[in-house]
Structure 1
Amino acid sequence: MIIIDRRSWLAQVFMFKGTTLTVIWKRVAVSMAVAIGVTWTSQHVPEFHPKLTHLPFTLIGLALSIFLGFRNNTGYDRFWEGRKLWGRMVNVSRSFTRQLLTLIGPRMIDAQGDHELAAEEREQVEAVRGELVHALIAYVHAFRHHLRDEDSLDELRGLIPDELRASLIDEYNRPVAILQWLGDRLRWLYDRGWVHPMHLPALEDSLTEMTSVQGACERIKSTPIPASYTVLIHRIVLLYCVGLPFGIVDQVGAWTPVVVGLVAYAFYGLDSVGTEIENPFGKDPNDLPLTTLSRMIEVNLRQRLGEDRSALPELLEPDDGILQ
């Protein structure tokens, strides 16, 4: 995600890195080259007189603007839904951690509730809670890698038991496997008497919520905008921008390449924006900063465990204006 100083209007106007211009400049250059060729030919070859008028381009341009607007709105809806889903993931991770730290442990043995745990038992409780919270952190990282089609095993080292990490090698959906392990551990703690029967449904609801968030993100990732619609838009934009100089050269004259360049930048740019935000979970400059979000979750949860701040990873800052 690009981070810019929105107070500086000129800085945004002349910004280049991370904008659509880095992607479309070649397309704009080709359209302007065609316009230059048409303009030169019309001025130096008397027999060259395009019979096109600007009316067809006016009508097509209006329809094309509507189609591009619809496609970009659809792409932004996917982007914004992805951001809301990761906001839910942040919230449920914090809530589930709070539940793990407050609801798991041996039950009080007297009515007054003043039973003190023995030192050994207290260490066991802290170890189990830490194990579950670290597994939750591993789930968030694995979920991010899953959406980006990356290998997550190295980053999970030290967060989950070695045997669990080894079992993930052959898993197609590693986040789901980690959630299954968390559910199994909760059942084991329930059988041991460390989870109250009234508390187990609350813990299970948190796992279910994480599964729902993951499923919704997978739906966005695996269901792109129909290819036939996208290809049609690409073709119409290309034909419009390449054919435009033939329709305006008689009226615009030597300024034809400039006009074509401006129109091509607008249409190619809108087309490129729709393509870029269609999948919000990638690593393009305008995609969601999933690495930053998952690192923030990790720091928040490890602080709840009381880990020393100096031992925690640093929160990510923009690198050359871009959050990953």
Structure 2
Amino acid sequence: MKIAKSYTLAEFLAWTRRKTYILLVLAAVPATLYQVFGLTWIAAPWSVAVLLGTATSFIVGFKNAQTYQRTVEAQQVWSSIVGTSRYWGLICRMFPTTGGSSQLLIHRHLAWLTVLRHQLRQGRVWESANSRANAEYRAWHFRVPEHDTPLDTELAPLLGETERLRVASTGHKGLLLLNLQSETLRELYARQELAVLHHTELQKTIKELLDQQSRVERLKNFPYPRQYATINTLFVWCFAALLPFCLVREFDRLNDSVSGLLAGHMVWLSVPFSVLVAWMYLSLDQVGESTENPFEGGANDVPMAHLCQGIERELRSLLGESDLPPPPTPDNQILL
């Protein structure tokens, strides 16, 4: 998550420069054929650009609205996880009659949070975090905590060796930890270390955590519909390729009212203007693509590691522990 006021123009230009190079070629070819080789018949009517540009605007706007909504929903779910985690820490601190049980339940919850964010950082084939532009930007500006530190290393201070081995051996790590929490609560209730109402409230909170895990897994495992993503890309590139053919004649007409060095050469101005207009559409498309998957490890992701580190500091403070993790710090104004 970018926490600066805005991205700079230089960052945007560097991020989109590969597409800009392609746009320069697409714009230069029609201008060269029209001006140098005299193939004036290649010029397309301006109405073609207007119609295609209008359709492209609608579909790009629709995609960006939907991908933004996915990010907003991801932020809302993680806000709920933060709130539920704080409540879990409070009731685990107050309800059990033994302090050791409180520490076990809270540490295991922190392990669940760690497992959940590592699970959400795992790549999917439709994600764009490893595209050349995004991978390059990540290498220059920030790091992904889940890529730097193995899961087992982060779980070592939170779980015993037996539980770590059980977690490592299953593909459903989050569900296993919630199941262990439920089993521990049942044992505490059987030993009369939990009142019946307290046991019910703790089990209800586990259900809320399970619901929240299911919501973030849905966002992770169900992408923006591929048919819309495909047609969006096709529309944008068709518009970028056809726009120069529609502009060459329009700029050629300006020769009638221009004198001096530019006289007879106004067609070449179609190149920068074509690139500029098409770059705006392609940049919007690329922004939507980078917003589509809020857990992939991009600069615009939900800052899960930052949130989990904050929760860990709060809950371990409740237990009276002093060896707290340091406060999270951003990399180049980016928090993950």
**Fold equivalence (TM over 0.5):** yes
- Determine which structure has the larger helix proportion and give its number: 2
Question: Could you tell me how far apart the structure 1 residues matched to 2:73 and 2:274 are?
Answer: 35
Work out the CA distance in 2 between the residues paired with 1:316 and 1:22.
Answer: 28
1:255 paired residue among 269, 276, 284: 269
- Structure 1 residues without counterparts, runs of 5 or longer: 7-11, 106-124
Partner of 2:94: 102
Give the equivalent residue in structure 2 for 1:317: 329
Counterpart of 1:5 in structure 2 is: 5
Given the superposition, is the C-alpha separation of residues 135 and 47 from structure 1 closer, same or farther in structure 2, using an over 3 Å criterion? closer
Amino acid at match of 1:295: Q
Structure 1 position 22, deviation (Å): 4.2
Aligned match of 1:86 in 64, 78, 88? 78
**For each residue in 1:174-195, what CA deviation from the matched residue of structure 2 results, as whole angstroms up to 9, or x when unmatched?**
1111110011001110001010
- Count the aligned residue pairs: 295
User: Kindly tell me: are residues 88 and 47 of structure 1, through their superposed partners in 2, closer, same or farther at Cα, counting changes over 3 Å?
Assistant: closer
**Secondary structure of the residue that 1:104 maps to in structure 2?**
coil
User: 2:299: which partner in 1?
Assistant: 285
| Equivalent-residue separation in structure 2 for 1:198 and 1:83 (angstroms) | 32
Give the superposition deviation at 1:15: 4.5
Letter in structure 2 aligned against 1:263: V
Aligned to 1:161: 160
The separation in 2 between residues aligned to 1:34 and 1:15, in whole angstroms, is 23
**Aligned match of 2:211:** 212
Q: Which position in structure 2 is the counterpart of 1:59?
A: 51
- CA 299–15 in structure 1, closer or farther in 2 if over 3 Å, else same: farther
1:292 Cα deviation after fit? 0.8
| 1:254 Cα offset (Å) | 2.0
> Retained in 1: the 8 A contact 2:43–2:248?
no
Q: Is the 8 A contact 1:282 1:288 kept in 2?
A: no
Q: Distance in 1 between matches of 2:203 and 2:218?
A: 23
Note the C-alpha offset of 1:222: 1.0
Q: Offset of 1:40 from its aligned partner?
A: 2.6
Aligned residue in 2 for 1:143: 116
Q: Distance in 1 between matches of 2:21 and 2:114?
A: 41
TM-score w.r.t. structure 2 length? 0.84
Query: Match of 2:103, SS?
Result: helix
Are the equivalent residues in 2 in contact too, given 1:101–1:129 (CA < 8 A)? Answer: yes
Which residue identity does 2:87 align to in structure 1? S
Residues 20 and 279, structure 2, Cα contact 8 Å, conserved in 1: yes
CA–CA separation in structure 1 for the residues paired with 2:33 and 2:10:
35
Match of 1:14 among 1, 9, 23: 9
How is 1:26-45 mapped onto 2 (pairs within 5 angstroms)?
26-45=18-37
Cα distance in 1 for partners of 2:39, 2:292 equals: 47
- The more displaced of 187-196 and 274-283 is 274-283
Deviation (angstroms), 1:161: 1.6
How far apart are the structure 2 equivalents of 1:283 and 1:322?
A: 11
* Cα distance in 1, alignment partners of residues 321 and 55 from structure 2: 58
Which has the higher mean CA deviation after the structures are superposed, 41-50 or 56-65? 41-50
Contact 1:146 1:173 in 2 (8 A): no
SS in 2 for 1:320: coil
Between stretches 167-176 and 138-147, larger displacement belongs to: 167-176
Aligned-pair distance for 1:256? 1.0
- Cα shift at 1:290: 1.0
1:136-183 deviation digits (Å, cap 9, x = unpaired): 111111110111126622210120121111011221121111110011
Q: Are the structure 2 counterparts of residues 297 and 178 from structure 1 closer, same or farther at C-alpha, using a change threshold of 3 Å?
A: same
Contact 2:247–2:274 under 8 Å retained in 1? no
Contact 1:79 1:279 in 2 (8 A): yes
Instruction: Measure, in 2, the Cα distance between the counterparts of 1:47 and 1:218.
Output: 55
Q: Distance in 1 between matches of 2:39 and 2:209?
A: 69
Deviation at 1:5, TM superposition (A): 3.0
1:209 is displaced (CA, Å) by 0.6
Q: Please, which of 309, 317, 320 is the counterpart of residue 303 of structure 1?
A: 317
Could you tell me how far apart the structure 2 residues matched to 1:51 and 1:2 are? 43
Tell me how far apart the structure 2 counterparts of residues 196 and 295 of structure 1 sit (CA, whole Å).
Answer: 31
